[in-house]
């Protein structure tokens, strides 16, 4: 007890004081004039992010498959004050489209500050039996295309000390029944992007990676898919979109957004963080090529 009072408490107080004094506050001006890509922007959370970013004065290039949907969103973005807003329609099942889209978007804006990866393939809820096709599609669209786009964007993001924002889910941190292929693709995002975040740290690449862990959100798709299958409060998509943008602008590693306030505490997994901190010391990077 005496030891606690003498050493641990003062260390804790100093740590908290340092943590809060260095914590930067979000300001909407942080996004003003920034060049941002949003995928899956024709509806749902992607559309709401495009609207917030427009109000903050960002340049936008949006994508999804529905040209009609994107046209409407772009018009509204311009009304809301976007510095510029354009779209390129296509499917993220096609990896050539995914790569070319990023390069074209970069050319349209003359660079890139933030890549927001948000699209998913449509996944109805149900028991998994043998639908390998659906599993492969979920992995391709929800995971592989994210990696393809990040690879294509990295040179531009490095130039601007930019950010990659990966929209994931609580189903990418814990197990839920009835969403196995979706859940697998979201866990893959955590494994891959958390791993390359460590690599960027080692190789001094100043590109932040923000993984967004969302609970159930009241988008049309989610409400339809969960109707009669899952009964719990869905959080508002507008606030969700804003929290993602705030976390991304502050270059946070992870953003948690859910109706239950205990979710971040229970899912943040301090055990994993301690293990990662301890294990990094065992790696030798000297002989590896970093670029």
Catalytic residue positions, numbered: 182
Per CB under 6 A, which region of 1-9, 95-103, 193-201, 209-217 contacts ligand 4JX?
A: 209-217
Binding mask 169-198 for ligand NAP (x = CB under 6 A): x-----------------------------
Cβ-based neighbour number of residue 46 at 10 Å: 27
By a kind-dependent CB cut-off of 5 to 8 A, residue 35 interacts, out of ligand 4JX, ligand NAP, none, with: none
Q: Which of 45, 64, 166, 171 binds ligand 4JX (CB under 6 A)?
A: 171
Nearest distance in Å: CB 217, ligand NAP: 4
Cα dist. 153→6, 106, 110, 114, 238 in Å? 50, 8, 12, 9, 27
What does the alpha-carbon distance between residue 227 and residue 210 come to, in Å, rounded to a whole number? 30
- The beta strands (E) that lie in the chain are given as 35-39, 59-63, 84-87, 114-117, 163-169, 208-214, 254-257
Distance CA 106, CA 228 (A): 43
Separation CA 201–CA 18 (nearest Å): 21
263 in contact with ligand NAP (CB under 6 A) = no
Residue in 71, 84, 194, 226 binding ligand 4JX, rule: CB under 6 A? 226
DSSP string spanning 111-138?
A: S-SEEEE-----------SS-HHHHHHH
Considering only residues 64, 112, 179, 255, which one is a binding residue for ligand 4JX as defined by CB under 6 A? 179
Task: Name the segment binding ligand 4JX (CB under 6 A); options: 1-9, 15-23, 217-225, 235-243.
Answer: 217-225
Rounded least distance, CB 40 to ligand NAP, Å? 3
Residue 109's contacts (CB-CB under 8 Å, 6 or more residues apart) are 35, 59, 61, 84
State both tokens at 77.
Answer: 């973005």
How many residues touch ligand 4JX under the rule CB under 6 A: the total is: 16
Q: Does 141 help bind ligand NAP (rule: CB under 6 A)?
A: yes
Specify the length of the chain in residues.
291
Q: Which is closer to ligand NAP, CB of 42 or CB of 263?
A: 42
Task: List residues binding ligand 4JX (CB under 6 A).
Answer: 123, 125, 169-171, 176, 179, 182, 214-216, 221-222, 225-226, 230
């Amino acid at each position: 007890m005496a030891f606690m009072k003498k050493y641990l408490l003062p260390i804790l107080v100093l740590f908290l004081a340092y943590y809060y004094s260095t914590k930067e506050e979000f300001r909407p001006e942080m996004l003003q004039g920034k060049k941002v890509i949003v995928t899956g922007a024709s509806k749902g959370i992607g559309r709401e992010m495009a609207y917030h970013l427009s109000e903050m004065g960002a340049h936008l290039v949006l994508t999804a498959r529905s040209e009609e949907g994107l046209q409407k969103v772009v018009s509204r973005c311009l009304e809301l004050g976007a510095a510029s807003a354009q779209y390129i329609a296509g499917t993220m099942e096609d990896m050539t489209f995914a790569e070319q889209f990023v390069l074209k978007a970069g050319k349209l804006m003359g660079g890139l500050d933030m890549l927001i990866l948000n699209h998913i393939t449509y996944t109805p809820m149900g028991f998994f039996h043998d639908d390998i096709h659906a599993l492969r599609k979920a992995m391709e669209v929800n995971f592989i295309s994210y990696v393809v786009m990040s690879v294509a964007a990295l040179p531009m993001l490095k130039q601007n000390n930019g950010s990659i924002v990966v929209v994931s889910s609580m189903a990418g941190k814990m197990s839920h029944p009835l969403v196995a292929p979706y859940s697998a693709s979201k866990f893959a995002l955590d494994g891959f992007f958390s791993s390359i975040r460590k690599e960027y740290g080692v190789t001094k690449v100043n590109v932040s990676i923000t993984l967004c862990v969302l609970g159930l959100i009241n988008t049309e798709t989610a409400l339809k898919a969960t109707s009669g299958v899952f009964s719990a409060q869905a959080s508002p998509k507008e606030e969700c979109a804003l929290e993602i943008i705030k976390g991304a602008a502050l270059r946070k590693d992870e953003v948690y957004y859910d109706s239950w306030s205990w979710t971040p505490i229970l899912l943040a997994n301090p055990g994993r963080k301690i293990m990662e901190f301890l294990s990094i010391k065992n790696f030798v990077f000297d002989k590896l090529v970093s670029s």
